[in-house]
Amino acid sequence: MGNKTVAIVTGASGGIGRAVAERFGSLGHDVVVHYGGGAERAAEVVEAVRAAGGRAIAVRADVADGAEVAALFARAQEEFGGVDVVVHTAGIMPLAPIAEMDLADFDRVQRVNVRGTFVVDQAAARSVRAGGAIVNFSTSVTRLQQPGYGAYAASKGAVESLTLILARELRGRDVTVNAVAPGPTATPLFLEGKTPQAIEHIASLAPLGRLGEPADIADAVVGLVASRWINGQVVYVNGGIA
């Protein structure tokens, strides 16, 4: 990749997505800030990317809708001339025991997390230029097997399979495909509804004795994008919790 990298970051109005977008901005990259809801937050991220040194636009799309995702990639092409990096952080995480989960909630998780990854990866596979990278998002819960996370972990197991297969399907393209699997990370989504005691307990599970920060996850994403010899891998970014 040249000095001017064009990156699409899905879910960029959220905690981890925002950290990734801002980090790309600090590297001088052009960033398409994707959001599904929260236009105001997305606008804030655009300003933050610009303040960090990059160019940015915000584009709304339903990640599971092929036409909307195609339009998202078309905007990147029109505005910045192409796509080099796709970081797909967008996802949802409704929790319930398997015996109790409403099937409509299960279907929603699979639509956003599995179909959404498939649709975004399909567009990325058709668009990302040589020397580029695709980074999907899994979760350390696939190893931790925590009760209540059945539907979510199942969706992320599918994401890992898609990631590993796409890496091999892009043979000869000089495009890497990997997944990041964060552990507990101090984002508004994670902290919501948890007592200080629960947060302290979860933080204590990591040998490093703290929760991850969005910046920790962004570090891993930037490293995967920069490396040309890490490919077809799921990288656990959790401070040693699993």
Which positions are catalytic?
152
Residue with tokens 């600090």: 26
- Rounded Cα distance between 190 and 177, Å, is 26
Tell me how many degrees the CA angle 89-57-91 measures, rounded to the nearest 5: 15
- Asked if 136 and 122 count as a contact pair (C-beta separation under 8 A), the reply is no
Residue with tokens 């972990």: 153
DSSP, res 132: -
- Rounded Cα distance between 36 and 62, Å, is 6
- Coil vs helix vs strand at 29: coil
- Rounded Cα distance between 199 and 191, Å, is 7
User: How many Cα atoms within 13 Å fall on the side-chain side of residue 56?
Assistant: 32
